[in-house]
């Protein structure tokens, strides 16, 4: 498997970025849930600091991923897909990209509005995106939580789509996002 994508399958860089982001999202939601259960204190703040650092990492990887995608071909969808399935796949993928940026940016802006600077694993501090503002903090807290709920729904739809391709259509769509050899090839996006 090459590093770059072809019109047949995802290359190693796209695959690595896809699965790395999936893993980090799991860590991210776990840290948020753990912090949520704790009373305000050092332990909660430590978990949230880690949540912020991983969140900024996801933002950087999403940027890298988008840049790589724009400079590479994308695998074609199987020609047997109905127009609505094609449209659903596209809408889901675009929404996932939007959320990969909106989640960390809402979190970062929320922290700035709260008056808490964001550091990346204590290695360097990021600039504040807005000045301290309680009303904005509260609005962004709700936004961040709502976006996380939307992400969960869209990911569920996305995973259902991937499994449908694999087990019902029995095509290559899931295999080509994994380091596995292809069985057939796509025809049209």
DSSP state of 119: E
For CA atoms 34, 120, 144, 45, the dihedral sign is positive
| Residue with tokens 């650092």, as numbered in its chain | 53
Residue 38, interface with ligand HEM (CB under 6 A)? no
11 binds ligand HEM (CB under 6 A): no
Rounded to the nearest 5°, which phi and psi values hold at 14? -65, -40
- Pick one of 11, 15, 17, 55: the residue that binds ligand HEM (CB under 6 A): 55
Of 67-75, 80-88, 127-135: span binding ligand HEM (CB under 6 A): 67-75
Closest approach of ligand HEM to the CB of residue 83, in Å? 15
For residue 2, count CB atoms less than 10 angstroms from its CB and return exposed for 0-12, middle for 13-18, buried for 19 or more: exposed
Is residue 36 packed enough to be buried (19+ CB in 10 Å), middle (13-18) or exposed (0-12)?
exposed
DSSP 8-class letter at 73: -
Q: To the nearest whole angstrom, how small is the minimum distance from the Cβ of residue 148 to ligand HEM?
A: 4
The verdict on 17 binding ligand HEM (CB under 6 A) reads no
Q: Which residues bind ligand HEM (CB under 6 A)?
A: 18, 21-22, 25, 28-29, 32, 36, 48, 51-52, 55-56, 58, 69, 74-75, 77, 93, 96-97, 100, 103-104, 107-108, 110-111, 118, 141, 144-145, 148, 155, 158-159, 162, 173-174, 176-177
């Amino acid at each position: 498997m090459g590093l770059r994508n072809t019109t047949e399958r995802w290359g190693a860089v796209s695959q690595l970025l896809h699965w790395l982001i999936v893993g980090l999202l799991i860590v991210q939601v776990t840290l948020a849930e753990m912090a949520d259960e704790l009373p305000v204190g050092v332990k909660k703040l430590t978990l949230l600091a880690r949540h912020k650092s991983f969140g900024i990492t996801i933002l950087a990887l999403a940027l890298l991923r988008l840049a790589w995608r724009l400079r590479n071909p994308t695998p074609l969808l199987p020609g047997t897909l109905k127009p609505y399935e094609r449209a659903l796949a596209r809408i889901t993928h675009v929404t996932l990209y939007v959320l990969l940026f909106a989640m960390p940016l809402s979190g970062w802006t929320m922290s700035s509005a709260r008056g808490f600077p964001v550091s990346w694993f204590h290695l360097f501090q990021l600039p504040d995106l807005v000045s301290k503002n309680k009303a904005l903090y509260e609005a962004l807290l709700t936004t961040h939580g709502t976006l996380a709920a939307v992400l969960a729904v869209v990911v569920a739809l996305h995973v259902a789509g991937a499994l449908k391709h694999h087990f019902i259509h029995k095509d290559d769509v899931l295999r080509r996002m994994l380091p596995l050899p292809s069985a057939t090839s796509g025809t049209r996006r």
